[in-house]
Amino acid sequence: MAENPSELHLPGPIMSRREALQVTAGAVTLAALPPETVAATSSSPAVVKNDMTLTMTVNGRIHTLTVDPRQSVLDVLRETLDLTGTKKGCNQGACGACTVLVDGKRIVSCLTLAAMHGGAQIETIEGLEKDGVLHPLQEAFVEHEGLQCGFCTPGQIMSGLGCIAEGHAGSPQEIQFWMSGNICRCGAYPGIVAAVADAAGRT
Amino acid sequence: MFPFVLEKPDSTEDAIAAAAAGARYIAGGTTLVDLMREEVERPERLIDINRLPLGGIRVEGEHLVIGALARMAEVAADANVQRLQPLIAESLIEGASPQLRNMASMGGNLLQRVRCPYFRMLDAGCNKRTPGSGCAAIDGLNAGHAILGTSDHCVATHPSDVAVALVALDATMRVRGPQGERSFPVEELFRLPGDTPHLEHTLLPGELIVEIRVPGGPHSRRARYLKVRDRASYEFALVSAAVALLVEDGVIRQARIAVGGVGTRPWRLRDCEAELVGKGPDRQAFEEAARLAARGARPLRHNHFKAELLPRTIVRALEMAGEVA
């Protein structure tokens, strides 16, 4: 993790896949619009603006943000703060890929409005590693192969932190029940359960 | 999602005034945000009630009092809830996922909308979403739908688990509105669909749930919730049963049975309860009583199994309650 994790860095000579997609998508959109539409879009009076300004702390860093009340916490994390470790799976609260901790509690960030979280303390997957050292639960996921494709993993790990903190990691059966809000379509469940159990034993 | 204005009043009076003027309350948002994104719900003004003093859990004499803003997880983990009304804790833990239980409020749980897939399918008929548009579920995929309390206009089940427990326990709720406060049984919150399925509850415009009150008693200890579903957790009920027994000298003095997953509202089974009183808490008595449960049921094409699963679930739940030491 960099010193200033939330600072947007401009696409450099070596672009990530995401940066490349962002730049090309913007160019394609603009190119596809006729010139007058571009002008109209930029100063359209018909667009309803109900924006709200709020402050939230994400991974220990305070952000003052202006949000459209329709934006979920997930969208603000990914689109505004560029913290794309938190994943958008189903976007309807069913899969758990977007799990983060808000004020210490695990929630699905897709089903809650950012504008309702002024003053909140949010922890995401990006905040777990400290000075190049993985969090013990991240280590355990690597060690026990608690993943295949990895898409659900940030949500699994954040949910696992909640599961352990709540005291529900006492047995594999208990972990299975209390981790059931996180779906893994690769079926890495045995590794996930083992990782949570292992990390719970270490802390 | 359609645009809306979000307001965060500091006073209950301001919140109620706004809701009486047409605004919608939002607490956890787990139902409403989802349905707004699907454009099934299109409120223009939302009132975030999380700043209002409607949280907390307390004991008043024999009553357990649960604030409307208390979260499901908070209630399930509360020592007083576990000690005085373990049925409530058990039913809460069987519902939703750990993440959703951290978010969803008790008031919102009671007012959550149906999970019928056609309700959220904008191109399908749904009298609940669009009155007069028909009910696609009646001739559609209806294995998860209700067999009790249905009408020709709607067959959706009420999805809450804890509401089933609250109805079994004769819980009441206190609500506040523009005309002041009133209290009534939780059971009376829920309307049958009839020919107006878009009207789901009996709250008046602007009324806000303040708290839920659960009377205690010796029945509260022998009380269990059994939920039968397609997977072991994080799934809505096919059939569920909340039961409580008061057994003295080997005789059932009092029985309470409410069921979920089968009715268009949380469904109390008073005939079954009456059948149990005066009998020994054994399997034969449980089976005879449970046989009455599906009387008047109107199964649909895909959910005939519920008429059979319902009495079996009740029998097993009664056995579980009887086993409580």
B242: tokens are 């909340």
% pLDDT > 90, chain B? 98
Sequence-distant (6+) residues with CB within 8 A of A60 are A127
Please name the fold of domain A136-202: DNA polymerase; domain 1 (1.10.150)
How far is Cα B214 from Cα A162, in angstroms, rounded to an integer? Answer: 29
| B97 close contact with A: CB closer than 8 A | yes
Q: Which pLDDT band, with edges at 50, 70 and 90, does A40 fall under?
A: very low
How far is Cα B50 from Cα B107, in angstroms, rounded to an integer? Answer: 12
Backbone φ and ψ of B5, nearest 5°:
-105, 135
Q: Which pLDDT band, with edges at 50, 70 and 90, does A201 fall under?
A: very high
Q: Would you report the helix, strand and coil content of chain A in percent, each value rounded to 5?
A: 40, 15, 45
Nearest chain B CA: its distance from A79 CA (Å): 17
Is B230:B238 a contact under the CB 8 Å cutoff? yes
Q: Which pLDDT band, with edges at 50, 70 and 90, does A25 fall under?
A: low
Of residues B263 and A35, more confidently modeled: B263
Q: Which pLDDT band, with edges at 50, 70 and 90, does B325 fall under?
A: low
Nearest chain A CA: its distance from B104 CA (Å): 10
Pairing state between β A61-67 and B57-60: unpaired
Residue A29 reports pLDDT greater than 80:
no
Residue whose token pair is 């949280």 = B55
% pLDDT > 90, chain A? 75
Interface test with A, best of B97, B101, B115, B119 (most A CBs within 10 A): B97
Q: Which pLDDT band, with edges at 50, 70 and 90, does A21 fall under?
A: low
- For A185, other C-beta atoms within 10 Å of its C-beta total 11
Q: Which pLDDT band, with edges at 50, 70 and 90, does B45 fall under?
A: very high
Give the model's pLDDT for residue A49: 80
Q: Which pLDDT band, with edges at 50, 70 and 90, does A202 fall under?
A: confident
How far is Cα A35 from Cα A41, in angstroms, rounded to an integer? Answer: 10
Strand partners, B239: B228
Instruction: Dump pLDDT digits (tens) for B217-249.
Output: 999 999 999 999 999 999 999 999 999 999 999
Instruction: Dump pLDDT digits (tens) for B86-99.
Output: 999 999 999 999 99
Give the model's pLDDT for residue B38: 97
Q: Which pLDDT band, with edges at 50, 70 and 90, does B323 fall under?
A: confident
Please name the fold of domain A52-127: Ubiquitin-like (UB roll) (3.10.20)
Mean pLDDT calculated for residue range B193-201: 98
Q: CA of A49: which chain B residue's CA is closest?
A: B3
Interface test with B, best of A76, A111, A163, A175 (most B CBs within 10 A): A111
A74: tokens are 């997930």
Q: Which pLDDT band, with edges at 50, 70 and 90, does A22 fall under?
A: low
| B33 close contact with A: CB closer than 8 A | yes
- Which residue in B121, B111, B116, B263 sits closest to B193, CA to CA? B263
Q: What is the DSSP string of B225-289?
A: EEEE-SSSSSS--SEEEEEEEEEETTEEEEEEEEEESSBSS-EE-HHHHHHHTTS-SSHHHHHHH
Residue B322 reports pLDDT greater than 70:
yes
Ranges assigned E (strand) in chain A: 52-58, 61-67, 99-102, 105-108, 121-123
Nearest chain A CA: its distance from B43 CA (Å): 12
Verify whether the Cβ–Cβ distance A111 to B29 is below 8 Å. yes
How far is Cα A93 from Cα B250, in angstroms, rounded to an integer? Answer: 46
Strand partners, B175: B182, B209
What does each C-alpha distance from B184 to B23, B61, B85, B173, B212 come to in angstroms? 24, 19, 20, 6, 10
Provide the 8-state DSSP code for A189: H
How far is Cα B258 from Cα B236, in angstroms, rounded to an integer? Answer: 16
What does each C-alpha distance from B70 to B231, B273, B322 come to in angstroms? 27, 31, 30
Mean pLDDT calculated for residue range B157-174: 98
% pLDDT > 70, chain B? 100
| Domain ranges within chain A, ordered by starting residue | 52-127, 136-202
B309: tokens are 């699963």
Of A70, A93, A166, the CB nearest to B100: A93
Is B190:B266 a contact under the CB 8 Å cutoff? yes
Say how far residue B208 (Cα) sits from the centre of its chain.
17
Mean pLDDT calculated for residue range B284-295: 97
| Mean pLDDT estimate for chain A | 86
**Is domain B219-323 classified as CATH 3.30.365.10?**
no
Give the model's pLDDT for residue A42: 46
Q: Which pLDDT band, with edges at 50, 70 and 90, does A46 fall under?
A: low
| Domain ranges within chain B, ordered by starting residue | 5-47, 219-323
Verify whether the Cβ–Cβ distance B1 to A70 is below 8 Å. yes
What is the Cα Rg of chain B in Å?
A: 19
Q: Which pLDDT band, with edges at 50, 70 and 90, does A47 fall under?
A: low
Helices in chain B by DSSP H: which ranges?
12-20, 32-37, 72-77, 79-84, 86-93, 98-103, 106-110, 162-168, 270-276, 283-290, 305-323
A102: tokens are 């808000």
Verify whether the Cβ–Cβ distance A181 to B5 is below 8 Å. no
Is B166:B176 a contact under the CB 8 Å cutoff? no
Verify whether the Cβ–Cβ distance B34 to A93 is below 8 Å. yes
